[in-house]
Chains A and B, each alone.
Chain A
């Protein structure tokens, strides 16, 4: 296995006069998942705040091993294609992928931000409880499955394109926005099956038959418009190269999908 080399970390003097690495780089060529994540962790513990990963090719769980009780935060830039479970259990860090992402991005993510400059695979944002994920293009099946919210934690998923089937299945909280950019129509079925919390905003149309029976379809009200306006702005900020115009996006028709009841299983039992 090729050894990873640490490109010269950029040192900077802190106020206390200690020398401290601000940024670092890892060449992930031929590196195993475990080794890459171990190096990431070491850099975080050294106090590095920004880490660039070059030549990433399928290494999994990037960001997962960065739990630390002191709640240190790092920013990671990924060049290449990270493997499955990117940002799983993410604890407040920020990850940008200059490329596509695979399955399981943001699995049970707690806090932080993931930006994917491309498309993402299946089970994106599964059981995610906090933080934000922005995907420039479209996403695969089972997106935002069982996403939830808790007190001030309300996860947000903004997808530039559209998603495949089972979007928002079992969804219990959070906000999902599908922008359908580039004229992408929403062809996914079984949207919001078993949904009992949270909200999905779609730009464009879906037919009743595409949506689960527990889901109510309604137009956006003023509060919804504010939410969508806010996150569309954030989306545009993260992908300036797309040259998007917010007014253009917002003037189109949006649909709001929300659960009919928080208690889908209320009347199932004999006594």
Chain B
């Protein structure tokens, strides 16, 4: 059937610069560029271009430019180009529209409407280059009270403390599974996490055997509805265990890794036969209630001899704060909430773009609810979904989070340009693919350095901003909303965020 969809990108080749080296042809897994020996020139097919910019970056002559095309349609505020073309694709195939990365729709980004405080004259600001600045964070349950025994100078804590994760900076790598991303990308995240004193999350793809000894100590291993790659050894080699209930990019639905991506190595790590669809059902079929969830939380604590904190990850949806309260009471040590803009390797676009609530509002309502109920100490909050810079991190913490997960930001650090074609498995940057030729493009040493550089840079910026507020420990900023003000927000939004308007 003839497709009526227009190309999204236009490729401009400067023929004077092009040396016919065919590098672009090799770089593009979508088959955009082909060499025509008769004309001795390269021909580019706009229709195949994903806009990932790989050929542009790697053209040795700087001869290629890839630009988004103008909408060819008559301007129409209701029928946008995206709406029309998605509809056409569905008319042509009868299928669900898949996409990757996070929600790209213009929902209000609250981070950009919140401003931070700084000290002037009184409560003088602190220079983090001269004075110690504490970013270290402990993730896990804290006791309701502490019995202390002191004899002379010797002080002992009598209360039995729950296991906590120690992170040197409040930034963790979000769950991205081996299978969704390439082995090299997965290993880069693990390497950078260990180097930076933080953690990476295995997602629901297992942890390759040969990585367990070296990287287990900085791994949060996930237990999701498909239960892939899980055995007692996997649980026990890790620093913490996370039950994945939901994901911001696709709340309420499961996922599946198509058989094409289940290579021999991916199959071995997930512990499933090669080439079968790996299906994660929408719910955990042993969890239909908070009581059932509690059963799984304690099953995991039993399986790990009560030595590791157990986290529960949910998507931020309308009634999630009440659910989260139940999750804390069910015994979770950490709650990870993933907001509307959380990323994914593959999700139906209609779900990604229409389900869930923004993370900023979610952090505030969750922190507020747990405080009101007097159980905030019983769990830590990790916020995820749309964290783009260190300012977002510090605002998340001031709104009430203990730490954040970054996913898209980490991928961008490695080379991702958010072309949203992750689900095709043809990632030219070697990140979201299982094709050995493509995956080999990502160098673990370089990618992990880019990641640890990012963590280092953000940590410095966080220290600067904290110092500016006259605070020398991140702990003092947690849930300290007095340091935030809103600009250009409605009253209900300020109320949900628990902050005042600027100038108030």
> In the complex, what residues of A have CB within 8 A of residue B302's CB?
34, 37, 60-61, 64-65, 88
Shortest Cβ distance from A90 into chain B, in angstroms?
8
Shortest Cβ distance from B292 into chain A, in angstroms?
9
Closest to B305 in A: A65
Shortest Cβ distance from B204 into chain A, in angstroms?
12
In the complex with contacts A264-B277, A265-B256, A145-B285 CB distance below 8 A: yes
> In the complex, what residues of B have CB within 8 A of residue A91's CB?
231-233
> In the complex, what residues of A have CB within 8 A of residue B233's CB?
67, 69, 91
* Interface: B59 (CB within 8 A): no
- Per-residue CB contact flags for chain B residues 271-301 toward chain A (1 = under 8 Å, else 0) read 1110111010100011000000001001100
Docked pose: A169 CA to B285 CA in angstroms: 10
Please determine whether B231 and A146 come into contact, CB atoms closer than 8 angstroms.
no
> In the complex, what residues of B have CB within 8 A of residue A163's CB?
none
Selecting from B92-100, B117-125, B386-394, B476-484, the interface stretch reads B92-100
Q: Which residues 198-254 in A have Cβ within 8 Å of B in the complex?
A: none
Please determine whether B227 and A85 come into contact, CB atoms closer than 8 angstroms.
no
Closest to A41 in B: B305
* Interface: A172 (CB within 8 A): yes
Please determine whether A127 and B259 come into contact, CB atoms closer than 8 angstroms.
no
Please determine whether A64 and B93 come into contact, CB atoms closer than 8 angstroms.
no
Which of B93, B232, B276, B277 lies in contact with A110, CB distance below 8 A? B232
> In the complex, what residues of A have CB within 8 A of residue B93's CB?
269-271
> In the complex, what residues of B have CB within 8 A of residue A266's CB?
258-259, 277
* Interface: A132 (CB within 8 A): no
In the complex with contacts A61-B298, A146-B285, A265-B279, A89-B232 CB distance below 8 A: yes
Please determine whether A85 and B295 come into contact, CB atoms closer than 8 angstroms.
yes
Shortest Cβ distance from A134 into chain B, in angstroms?
21
Docked pose: A188 CA to B90 CA in angstroms: 37
Please determine whether B281 and A170 come into contact, CB atoms closer than 8 angstroms.
yes
Please determine whether B259 and A60 come into contact, CB atoms closer than 8 angstroms.
no
Please determine whether A270 and B89 come into contact, CB atoms closer than 8 angstroms.
yes
Docked pose: A268 CA to B277 CA in angstroms: 13
In the complex with contacts A65-B305, A123-B286, A263-B277, A271-B95 CB distance below 8 A: yes
Q: Which residues 44-97 in A have Cβ within 8 Å of B in the complex?
A: 60-61, 64-65, 67, 69, 84-85, 88-89, 91
Docked pose: A69 CA to B268 CA in angstroms: 20
> In the complex, what residues of B have CB within 8 A of residue A153's CB?
271
Please determine whether A110 and B231 come into contact, CB atoms closer than 8 angstroms.
yes
Docked pose: A200 CA to B281 CA in angstroms: 20
> In the complex, what residues of B have CB within 8 A of residue A138's CB?
none
Interface of A, helix, strand, loop or mixed by DSSP? loop
> In the complex, what residues of B have CB within 8 A of residue A127's CB?
226-227, 230
* Interface: B434 (CB within 8 A): no
> In the complex, what residues of B have CB within 8 A of residue A33's CB?
298
Please determine whether A170 and B286 come into contact, CB atoms closer than 8 angstroms.
no
* Interface: B303 (CB within 8 A): yes
Closest to A122 in B: B286
Please determine whether B303 and A194 come into contact, CB atoms closer than 8 angstroms.
no
Please determine whether A104 and B286 come into contact, CB atoms closer than 8 angstroms.
yes
> In the complex, what residues of B have CB within 8 A of residue A262's CB?
259, 273, 275-277
In the complex with contacts A60-B298, A194-B279, A271-B89, A67-B285 CB distance below 8 A: no
Q: Which residues 1-51 in A have Cβ within 8 Å of B in the complex?
A: 33-34, 37, 41
Please determine whether B226 and A146 come into contact, CB atoms closer than 8 angstroms.
yes
> In the complex, what residues of B have CB within 8 A of residue A270's CB?
89-90, 92-98
> In the complex, what residues of A have CB within 8 A of residue B236's CB?
67, 69
Which of B256, B271, B285, B303 lies in contact with A89, CB distance below 8 A? B303
- Per-residue CB contact flags for chain B residues 17-52 toward chain A (1 = under 8 Å, else 0) read 000000000000000000000000000000000000
Shortest Cβ distance from A42 into chain B, in angstroms?
11
- Other 6 A-B pairs with CB < 8 A, given A194-B281, A196-B276, A268-B95: A61-B303, A89-B235, A91-B231, A262-B277, A264-B277, A270-B93
